[in-house]
Structure 1
């Protein structure tokens, strides 16, 4: 019978101790420690929109919105459905999730994620236009990313 590698045995023991079926996935661009802290926040949250994998999905959505090259302004569009999956069609919801995670993280992990999100925020500000009537149109006009012109065709 073949011998099992020591690393595989240690991983199995670690899973038995913590009760987790699999170790958390590492989020692209973040350290393993921050990814682990985010995983703990997501697992123990009672918020409907903050579930395991939500932060990774929000970061990917935010990157894809600000990522395409060009100078044309981009307009966030509202999601057609408010379920967990479809709500990420609205990039503003993705930013809401990131803000919620930032509030719940411990200090070290919060700083790393905040620096990562700040670069995306700068690109978002550069690619979108301010909405002077956001106070009347938006239900969360206190958030700066909701005070941008929206509901046009995404992509400009």
Structure 2
């Protein structure tokens, strides 16, 4: 009976360790739930989170959303490290404003990843762009980003969030 108890305790501790090391958009430091709906004359929104703490690998995360005025959305996501890292990952979430709920609703997401091996041994920044065509127009959209860098077993992350931009088709 004592062995079973010890085994259960060890398994519980291992499960908690794995869970605690997982970084999500909600748990990453940065900007959360600060989006406002911008006026129709404003075509883009950008968010930057800089992390300059001693010993940190992640330098900054940047995210921009742009109304292309043709029923399309352009998004650019950047993740920067202070040093050469093993892997950079970022995820972009696209949210649409729901007038009835008076809240944001996630409509899509994209994941990107590169390793230093794929980049010839040097990896300290990563940029990706997305163009989403034929979206519902005269609606507000925002982007959220999760930026992560990895060295060995160490993972650091931050969260970005743009303001809501009205997507139009002129």
User: TM-score scaled to structure 1, two decimals?
Assistant: 0.29
Greater fraction strand? 2
Greater fraction helix? 1
- Structure possessing the higher relative contact order (Cα contacts under 8 Å, 6 or more residues apart): 2
User: TM-score scaled to structure 2, two decimals?
Assistant: 0.27
